[in-house]
Amino acid sequence: MSSEEYSVLISRGKAETQLAIKALDAGHAQAQSLDICRSLGADKFELIYGQKKESKLSKLYEKLAFNQFDYKECDIWDGSFTNHVPSIYAVNKRFYIRPLILGYLDIQKDKVVKNSCNNTKCINPYHNHYLNSNNSKIGGGDLQIVLAFRSQGVSVPQIAEVLKVHRSTIYRALKNERLLIGDKDHRQGDP
């Protein structure tokens, strides 16, 4: 699979950043530029044919565009850190890498990103949990698992054991989804 080299000029107010991007064709470059704009909160972009020197940010976007992350291995950020969290400066603003990835992948902006591999330098999107708040113990994917298990009649303590959380966390998640009404396990007071 051959790729073509482009650069994109991203504008956010009066601030501008130019990034090198690799794409399969002009349509792919256009789509990537839109995703990059969304993640940086940019106002507009201009796609330029030809190459520009790659930066750490352009390498990150290339890995995202071509899905070059491996689920089994950490992807260590070798750029700057702010408060021990991977970060970068673009369009005159500091961005933390994990939320930047969240924006690029078009995952809800109100989600909180927490690293699940406990490697603070890892930016692999497969090693992230996307939570509703800082205090959440389970993410959106875990909530779908909870709902699927409950629909199959699996008890709350069994679900809690599988997800390695306390059963009260599962009850709270179900209550928030308004599915706890009529929950047989809750009425009987599971141990």
Q: Domain extents for the chain? A: 4-65, 81-131, 140-188
**Per-position b or e across 36-72, b if 16+ CB within 10 A of its CB:** bbebbebeebeeeeeebebbebbbbbbbbbeeebeee
pTM above 0.75, yes or no: no
What pLDDT is recorded for position 80? 95
Per-residue pLDDT reduced to its tens digit, 86-130 = 999 999 999 999 889 888 988 765 567 778 888 999 999 888 777
129 contacts 98 by C-beta, under 8 angstroms: no
Report the range of poorest mean pLDDT among 67-76, 112-121, 134-143, 175-184.
175-184
Q: How confident is the model at residue 188 (pLDDT cuts 50, 70, 90)?
A: very low
The architecture of the domain spanning 140-188 is Orthogonal Bundle (1.10)
Going through 60-186 in order, the beta strands assigned E by DSSP cover 81-82, 85-90, 93-96, 112-115, 128-131
Residue 175's CB: how many other CB atoms inside 10 A? 13
Instruction: Assess whether pLDDT exceeds 50 at residue 181.
Output: no
